[in-house]
Amino acid sequence: MSGNHNHIVDNSLAGKVKEQTGVSAARCYQCGKCSAGCPVSEDMDYPPSLIMRMLQTGDSADEELILRSKSIWFCLTCEMCIARCPMEVDIPPMMDYLRSESIKQNKSNPASKNIISFHKAFLDSIRETGRLYELGLTLDFKVRSMKLMQDMSIVPTMLAKNKLNFLPEMIKNRRNIKQIFQKTIDKKEETK
Ligand code: SF4
Ligand code: SF4
């Protein structure tokens, strides 16, 4: 598009999501399979299929609700939704983008505070130990998820719903996670 200043820019949130992630919310036909499979949908204010619907409306009030929602912070990037979606709507990267947009616009839900501060402390601890490459982003994600679930006390809901299939992988890293938690706690104490 370089040199062409006449193309129409879609300024809706869905338009920005599409531009940044390549994923189109318009493809969603509201079958609800993503929400049915999502391990945290019950605890979200708007389950993933509803987030898709709210993006589709292009209504600024809906967009505001999305950016201020807990849902975008509860998302564990587990990819259960995309695995089930008949339209291959790749929700996790959309959630990622919505989180960054929410921060950018200063609209992040209070529920995000724990996860953001934890994430920061976690990165600091990596910086100190220089173990970024060893640990990798997968563990980072898993630690974030564990912490989030603990904070939100949503593990019991997930157990009741038998939606913990992805936990064995997380438990394998329990030792590491424990150490990292300890570091994070120490850090918090230091900054008090
Ligand atoms: S599974 Fe896909 S098509 Fe169905 S509601 Fe979810 S995003 Fe939309
Ligand atoms: S990636 Fe997010 S929205 Fe999709 S199933 Fe997992 S937690 Fe739910």
| Residue 75 Cβ < 6 Å to ligand 2 | yes
Distance CA 31, CA 47 (A): 12
In a domain, 170, yes or no: yes
- For ligand 2, pick from 38, 69, 170 the residue to mutate: most ligand atoms within 8 Å of CB: 38
Residue 4 within any structural domain of the chain: no
Mutate to test the pocket of ligand 1, among 23, 24, 29 (most ligand atoms within 8 A of CB): 29
Residues 73, 128 within the same domain: no
- Does the pLDDT at position 11 exceed 50? yes
**Could you tell me the pLDDT band of residue 192, with boundaries at 50, 70 and 90?**
very low
169 lines ligand 2 (CB under 6 A): no
Same domain, 37 and 97: yes
Q: Are residues 83 and 28 in the same domain?
A: yes
Question: Is there a single domain that holds both residue 100 and residue 116?
Answer: no
Domain that holds residue 172: 112-191
- In this prediction, residue 69 has a pLDDT band, given cuts at 50, 70 and 90, of very high
5 domain residue, yes or no: no
CA dihedral for 137, 43, 112, 184, sign (positive or negative) = negative
Distance (Å, whole) CA 38 – CA 104: 26
d(CA 189, CA 34): 40
Same domain, 49 and 87: yes
Question: Atom 8 (ligand 2): residue with closest C-alpha?
Answer: 38
Mark whether 100 and 120 lie in a shared domain. Answer: no
| Mean pLDDT of all residues in 17-44 | 93
Compute, in angstroms, the gap from residue 35 CA to the centroid of ligand 1.
Answer: 8
Amino acid at 20: Q
Query: Is 6 inside any structural domain?
Result: no
- The pLDDT tens digits of the residues spanning 162-185 come to 554 444 444 444 455 455 555 555
79 lines ligand 2 (CB under 6 A): yes
Whether 65 and 97 share a structural domain: yes
DSSP readout, 39-81?
TTGGGSSS-HHHHHHHHHH--HHHHHHHHT-SHHHH-----HH
Position 2 in a domain:
no
pLDDT reported for residue 59: 96
